Homo-oligomer: A and B are copies of this chain.
Protein backbone atom coordinates (compact mmCIF):
# COMPACT_ATOMS: atom_id res chain seq x y z
CA UNK A 1 0.00 0.00 0.00
CA UNK A 2 2.75 2.44 0.94
CA UNK A 3 4.37 4.74 -0.18
CA UNK A 4 1.92 7.64 -0.37
CA UNK A 5 1.91 11.42 -0.19
CA UNK A 6 -1.21 13.54 0.42
CA UNK A 7 -1.33 17.34 0.21
CA UNK A 8 -3.88 20.05 0.92
CA UNK A 9 -3.98 23.58 -0.41
CA UNK A 10 -6.23 24.93 2.33
CA UNK A 11 -9.78 24.57 3.56
CA UNK A 12 -12.26 27.36 3.04
CA UNK A 13 -14.30 28.88 0.27
CA UNK A 14 -12.33 29.09 -2.94
CA UNK A 15 -13.69 31.57 -5.52
CA UNK A 16 -14.65 29.88 -8.79
CA UNK A 17 -12.02 31.68 -10.83
CA UNK A 18 -9.31 30.27 -8.61
CA UNK A 19 -10.52 26.69 -8.32
CA UNK A 20 -8.66 25.47 -11.39
CA UNK A 21 -5.29 26.93 -10.40
CA UNK A 22 -5.82 25.54 -6.93
CA UNK A 23 -6.47 22.01 -8.22
CA UNK A 24 -3.58 22.18 -10.68
CA UNK A 25 -1.34 23.38 -7.86
CA UNK A 26 -2.07 20.56 -5.43
CA UNK A 27 -1.73 17.94 -8.19
CA UNK A 28 1.62 19.37 -9.22
CA UNK A 29 2.83 19.47 -5.59
CA UNK A 30 1.77 15.90 -4.90
CA UNK A 31 3.57 14.73 -8.02
CA UNK A 32 6.75 16.40 -6.82
CA UNK A 33 6.44 14.78 -3.40
CA UNK A 34 5.69 11.39 -4.92
CA UNK A 35 8.73 11.62 -7.22
CA UNK A 36 10.86 12.03 -4.09
CA UNK A 37 9.41 8.85 -2.61
CA UNK A 38 9.84 6.97 -5.88
CA UNK A 39 13.46 8.05 -5.92
CA UNK A 40 13.94 6.40 -2.54
CA UNK A 41 13.63 9.64 -0.55
CA UNK A 42 12.23 9.78 2.96
CA UNK A 43 8.72 10.87 3.89
CA UNK A 44 10.29 14.00 5.41
CA UNK A 45 12.00 14.84 2.10
CA UNK A 46 8.70 14.27 0.29
CA UNK A 47 6.52 16.50 2.48
CA UNK A 48 9.08 19.31 2.47
CA UNK A 49 9.30 19.12 -1.34
CA UNK A 50 5.51 19.14 -1.77
CA UNK A 51 5.03 22.07 0.61
CA UNK A 52 7.92 23.99 -0.99
CA UNK A 53 6.05 23.75 -4.31
CA UNK A 54 2.87 25.07 -2.69
CA UNK A 55 4.79 27.92 -1.02
CA UNK A 56 6.27 28.87 -4.39
CA UNK A 57 2.84 28.84 -6.04
CA UNK A 58 1.19 32.29 -5.65
CA UNK A 59 -2.29 30.71 -5.62
CA UNK A 60 -1.83 29.47 -2.06
CA UNK A 61 -1.70 31.17 1.32
CA UNK A 62 1.89 30.26 2.18
CA UNK A 63 5.23 31.68 1.08
CA UNK A 64 4.55 33.81 -2.03
CA UNK A 65 0.80 34.53 -1.95
CA UNK A 66 0.51 34.67 1.84
CA UNK A 67 -2.29 36.80 3.20
CA UNK A 68 -1.34 40.17 4.69
CA UNK A 69 -1.60 41.15 8.33
CA UNK A 70 -3.34 44.31 9.49
CA UNK A 71 -0.26 46.36 8.61
CA UNK A 72 -0.08 44.95 5.08
CA UNK A 73 2.93 42.79 5.87
CA UNK A 74 3.62 39.06 5.59
CA UNK A 75 4.39 36.99 8.71
CA UNK A 76 4.52 33.25 8.16
CA UNK A 77 4.35 30.10 10.30
CA UNK A 78 5.54 26.60 9.35
CA UNK A 79 6.24 23.24 10.95
CA UNK A 80 7.63 19.81 10.13
CA UNK A 81 7.47 16.64 12.22
CA UNK A 82 9.27 13.32 11.77
CA UNK A 83 7.29 10.29 12.93
CA UNK A 84 10.33 8.12 13.54
CA UNK A 85 11.81 10.20 16.37
CA UNK A 86 9.02 12.74 17.04
CA UNK A 87 11.64 15.34 16.14
CA UNK A 88 10.03 18.58 15.05
CA UNK A 89 11.00 21.99 13.78
CA UNK A 90 8.92 25.13 13.48
CA UNK A 91 9.18 28.82 12.74
CA UNK A 92 6.57 31.40 13.65
CA UNK A 93 5.92 34.98 12.51
CA UNK A 94 8.97 34.76 10.28
CA UNK A 95 9.45 37.45 7.59
CA UNK A 96 11.22 37.71 4.25
CA UNK A 97 11.76 33.99 3.79
CA UNK A 98 10.67 32.36 0.53
CA UNK A 99 10.31 28.86 1.98
CA UNK A 100 9.50 28.81 5.70
CA UNK A 101 9.02 25.03 5.54
CA UNK A 102 12.69 24.57 4.69
CA UNK A 103 13.67 26.88 7.54
CA UNK A 104 11.47 24.84 9.91
CA UNK A 105 13.33 21.73 8.81
CA UNK A 106 16.65 23.44 9.52
CA UNK A 107 15.44 24.27 13.05
CA UNK A 108 14.77 20.55 13.52
CA UNK A 109 18.03 19.40 11.96
CA UNK A 110 20.48 22.04 13.17
CA UNK A 111 19.36 23.28 16.61
CA UNK A 112 18.45 21.75 19.96
CA UNK A 113 15.17 23.66 19.85
CA UNK A 114 11.81 22.91 18.28
CA UNK A 115 10.53 26.38 17.46
CA UNK A 116 12.11 29.76 16.68
CA UNK A 117 9.97 32.87 16.34
CA UNK A 118 10.31 36.32 14.85
CA UNK A 119 13.66 38.01 14.49
CA UNK A 120 15.39 35.06 16.18
CA UNK A 121 14.17 32.83 13.36
CA UNK A 122 15.51 35.31 10.79
CA UNK A 123 18.88 35.46 12.57
CA UNK A 124 19.01 31.68 12.44
CA UNK A 125 18.17 31.79 8.72
CA UNK A 126 21.09 34.16 8.10
CA UNK A 127 23.43 31.92 10.10
CA UNK A 128 22.40 29.00 7.88
CA UNK A 129 22.92 30.99 4.68
CA UNK A 130 19.20 31.04 3.85
CA UNK A 131 18.67 34.16 1.71
CA UNK A 132 16.17 36.80 2.78
CA UNK A 133 13.81 38.00 0.08
CA UNK A 134 12.10 41.38 -0.27
CA UNK A 135 8.62 41.61 1.28
CA UNK A 136 7.24 42.55 -2.16
CA UNK A 137 8.32 39.21 -3.61
CA UNK A 138 5.90 37.43 -1.25
CA UNK A 139 2.91 39.68 -1.97
CA UNK A 140 0.55 39.08 -4.88
CA UNK A 141 -1.89 41.63 -6.35
CA UNK A 142 -4.69 39.36 -5.18
CA UNK A 143 -3.48 39.38 -1.55
CA UNK A 144 -3.13 43.15 -1.59
CA UNK A 145 -6.59 43.58 -3.12
CA UNK A 146 -8.19 41.42 -0.39
CA UNK A 147 -6.27 43.22 2.34
CA UNK A 148 -7.41 46.64 1.10
CA UNK A 149 -10.98 45.43 0.70
CA UNK A 150 -11.06 44.34 4.31
CA UNK A 151 -9.76 47.70 5.56
CA UNK A 152 -12.77 49.54 4.16
CA UNK A 153 -15.19 50.53 6.95
CA UNK A 154 -18.13 48.11 6.94
CA UNK A 155 -16.17 45.43 5.15
CA UNK A 156 -17.43 41.89 5.57
CA UNK A 157 -14.44 40.01 6.97
CA UNK A 158 -16.03 36.65 6.22
CA UNK A 159 -16.42 37.49 2.56
CA UNK A 160 -12.91 38.92 2.43
CA UNK A 161 -11.54 35.79 4.05
CA UNK A 162 -13.02 33.76 1.17
CA UNK A 163 -10.43 31.95 -0.80
CA UNK A 164 -7.77 32.75 1.71
CA UNK A 165 -8.64 30.62 4.69
CA UNK A 166 -6.26 27.92 3.77
CA UNK A 167 -2.95 26.81 4.98
CA UNK A 168 -0.99 24.28 2.92
CA UNK A 169 0.37 20.99 4.09
CA UNK A 170 1.38 17.44 3.34
CA UNK A 171 1.73 14.05 4.97
CA UNK A 172 3.59 11.04 3.60
CA UNK A 173 4.63 7.46 4.27
CA UNK A 174 7.88 6.26 2.71
CA UNK A 175 8.96 2.82 1.62
CA UNK A 176 10.26 2.08 5.13
CA UNK A 177 6.97 2.98 6.77
CA UNK A 178 8.21 6.27 8.22
CA UNK A 179 5.56 9.00 8.39
CA UNK A 180 6.08 12.77 8.26
CA UNK A 181 3.99 15.93 8.36
CA UNK A 182 4.61 19.46 7.05
CA UNK A 183 2.38 22.55 7.25
CA UNK A 184 2.96 26.17 6.14
CA UNK A 185 0.84 29.31 6.16
CA UNK A 186 0.56 33.05 5.89
CA UNK A 187 -2.08 32.89 8.62
CA UNK A 188 -5.40 34.69 8.48
CA UNK A 189 -6.23 37.83 6.58
CA UNK A 190 -5.72 41.13 8.43
CA UNK A 191 -4.46 39.35 11.53
CA UNK A 192 -2.81 41.36 14.28
CA UNK A 193 0.95 41.72 14.06
CA UNK A 194 2.55 38.82 15.90
CA UNK A 195 -0.49 36.55 15.69
CA UNK A 196 0.56 32.90 15.83
CA UNK A 197 -1.94 30.36 14.53
CA UNK A 198 -2.12 26.60 14.78
CA UNK A 199 0.39 25.87 12.02
CA UNK A 200 3.65 25.96 14.06
CA UNK A 201 1.98 24.31 17.07
CA UNK A 202 2.79 20.60 17.44
CA UNK A 203 -0.42 18.63 17.86
CA UNK A 204 -2.54 21.38 16.26
CA UNK A 205 -1.06 22.28 12.84
CA UNK A 206 0.34 18.79 12.46
CA UNK A 207 1.67 15.69 14.14
CA UNK A 208 3.58 12.59 13.05
CA UNK A 209 4.26 9.38 14.93
CA UNK A 210 5.39 6.16 13.26
CA UNK A 211 3.37 4.20 15.80
CA UNK A 212 0.10 5.86 14.74
CA UNK A 213 0.25 8.04 11.62
CA UNK A 214 0.53 11.64 10.51
CA UNK A 215 -1.84 14.58 10.10
CA UNK A 216 -1.59 18.08 8.59
CA UNK A 217 -4.46 20.50 9.29
CA UNK A 218 -5.98 23.63 7.75
CA UNK A 219 -8.90 25.87 8.65
CA UNK A 220 -9.61 28.29 11.47
CA UNK A 221 -6.39 28.18 13.46
CA UNK A 222 -7.81 29.35 16.77
CA UNK A 223 -10.42 26.56 16.70
CA UNK A 224 -7.83 23.97 15.65
CA UNK A 225 -5.58 24.93 18.56
CA UNK A 226 -8.36 24.80 21.14
CA UNK A 227 -8.94 21.12 20.39
CA UNK A 228 -5.36 20.14 19.29
CA UNK A 229 -6.93 18.73 16.11
CA UNK A 230 -3.96 16.78 14.71
CA UNK A 231 -3.20 14.98 17.97
CA UNK A 232 -6.92 14.36 18.58
CA UNK A 233 -7.30 12.56 15.26
CA UNK A 234 -4.29 10.39 16.05
CA UNK A 235 -5.75 9.52 19.46
CA UNK A 236 -8.84 8.25 17.65
CA UNK A 237 -6.61 6.17 15.39
CA UNK A 238 -4.79 4.77 18.44
CA UNK A 239 -8.18 3.57 19.61
CA UNK A 240 -8.76 1.68 16.39
CA UNK A 241 -10.49 4.20 14.13
CA UNK A 242 -9.58 4.30 10.43
CA UNK A 243 -7.80 7.33 8.99
CA UNK A 244 -11.09 8.47 7.50
CA UNK A 245 -13.30 7.91 10.55
CA UNK A 246 -10.72 9.45 12.90
CA UNK A 247 -10.42 12.53 10.67
CA UNK A 248 -14.20 12.93 10.56
CA UNK A 249 -14.52 12.49 14.33
CA UNK A 250 -11.92 15.20 14.92
CA UNK A 251 -13.56 17.63 12.50
CA UNK A 252 -17.06 16.96 13.86
CA UNK A 253 -15.83 17.59 17.40
CA UNK A 254 -14.26 20.88 16.31
CA UNK A 255 -17.58 21.96 14.80
CA UNK A 256 -19.69 20.96 17.81
CA UNK A 257 -17.34 22.10 20.57
CA UNK A 258 -15.83 25.35 19.28
CA UNK A 259 -17.85 26.00 16.12
CA UNK A 260 -14.79 25.71 13.89
CA UNK A 261 -14.43 24.52 10.29
CA UNK A 262 -11.38 23.06 8.66
CA UNK A 263 -9.81 20.13 6.90
CA UNK A 264 -7.06 17.56 7.24
CA UNK A 265 -4.91 15.10 5.35
CA UNK A 266 -4.14 11.94 7.30
CA UNK A 267 -2.08 8.77 6.77
CA UNK A 268 -1.31 5.69 8.82
CA UNK A 269 2.03 3.83 8.64
CA UNK A 270 0.57 1.20 6.28
CA UNK A 271 -0.23 3.80 3.65
CA UNK A 272 -3.96 4.21 4.24
CA UNK A 273 -4.83 7.86 3.61
CA UNK A 274 -7.70 10.34 3.86
CA UNK A 275 -8.41 13.93 2.83
CA UNK A 276 -11.43 15.20 4.80
CA UNK A 277 -12.95 18.61 5.51
CA UNK A 278 -15.93 20.28 7.14
CA UNK A 279 -15.50 23.54 5.22
CA UNK A 280 -17.24 24.11 1.89
CA UNK A 281 -14.10 23.19 -0.01
CA UNK A 282 -10.57 21.97 0.39
CA UNK A 283 -8.19 21.49 -2.51
CA UNK A 284 -6.37 18.21 -1.97
CA UNK A 285 -4.43 15.58 -3.89
CA UNK A 286 -2.88 12.20 -3.09
CA UNK A 287 -0.40 10.05 -5.00
CA UNK A 288 -0.10 6.30 -4.53
CA UNK A 289 0.53 3.33 -6.83
CA UNK A 290 1.19 5.64 -9.78
CA UNK A 291 -2.21 7.25 -9.51
CA UNK A 292 -3.09 10.83 -8.58
CA UNK A 293 -6.32 11.32 -6.64
CA UNK A 294 -7.73 14.81 -6.20
CA UNK A 295 -10.81 16.86 -5.39
CA UNK A 296 -12.15 20.21 -4.24
CA UNK A 297 -15.79 19.87 -3.10
CA UNK A 298 -17.19 17.31 -0.64
CA UNK A 299 -17.55 13.92 -2.32
CA UNK A 300 -15.35 14.80 -5.30
CA UNK A 301 -12.73 12.20 -6.06
CA UNK A 302 -11.03 12.29 -9.46
CA UNK A 303 -8.12 10.10 -10.48
CA UNK A 304 -5.47 10.23 -13.18
CA UNK A 305 -2.56 7.98 -13.94
CA UNK A 306 1.02 9.11 -13.39
CA UNK A 307 2.99 8.32 -16.50
CA UNK A 308 6.13 6.54 -15.35
CA UNK A 309 9.38 8.22 -16.31
CA UNK A 310 11.04 6.08 -18.98
Task: Identify the A interface with B (CB < 8 A).
Answer: 85-88, 90, 92-93, 111-121, 123-124, 191-197, 201-204, 207, 221-222, 225-228, 231-232, 235, 257-258
Please, how many angstroms separate the alpha-carbon atoms of A222 and B235 in the complex?
A: 21
Chain B residues with CB under 8 Å of A201's CB are 201-203
Q: Is the CB of A117 within 8 A of B93?
A: yes
Partner of A226, one of B114, B204, B228: B114
In the assembled complex, the CB of A279 is this many whole angstroms from the nearest CB of chain B, namely 18
Most chain B CB inside 10 Å of its own CB: which residue of A112, A114, A207: A114
Please, how many angstroms separate the alpha-carbon atoms of A232 and B235 in the complex?
A: 9
Q: Is the CB of A225 within 8 A of B121?
A: no
Q: A202-B226, A228-B203, A228-B228 given as contacts; is B87 within 8 A of A194 (CB)? A: no
Chain B residues with CB under 8 Å of A193's CB are 119-120, 123
Chain B residues with CB under 8 Å of A195's CB are 113, 115-117, 120
Closest B residue by C-beta to A93: B117
Q: Which 5 A-B pairs have the closest CB atoms?
A: A120-B194, A118-B118, A120-B193, A203-B228, A115-B196
Q: A202-B201, A203-B203, A258-B86 given as contacts; is B196 within 8 A of A116 (CB)? A: yes
Chain B residues with CB under 8 Å of A228's CB are 202-203, 207, 228, 231
Q: Is the CB of A222 within 8 A of B116?
A: no
In the assembled complex, the CB of A225 is this many whole angstroms from the nearest CB of chain B, namely 5
Please, how many angstroms separate the alpha-carbon atoms of A170 and B116 in the complex?
A: 26
Chain B residues with CB under 8 Å of A225's CB are 88, 114-115, 202-203
Please, how many angstroms separate the alpha-carbon atoms of A117 and B94 in the complex?
A: 11
Q: Is the CB of A118 within 8 A of B119?
A: yes
Chain B residues with CB under 8 Å of A116's CB are 192, 194-196
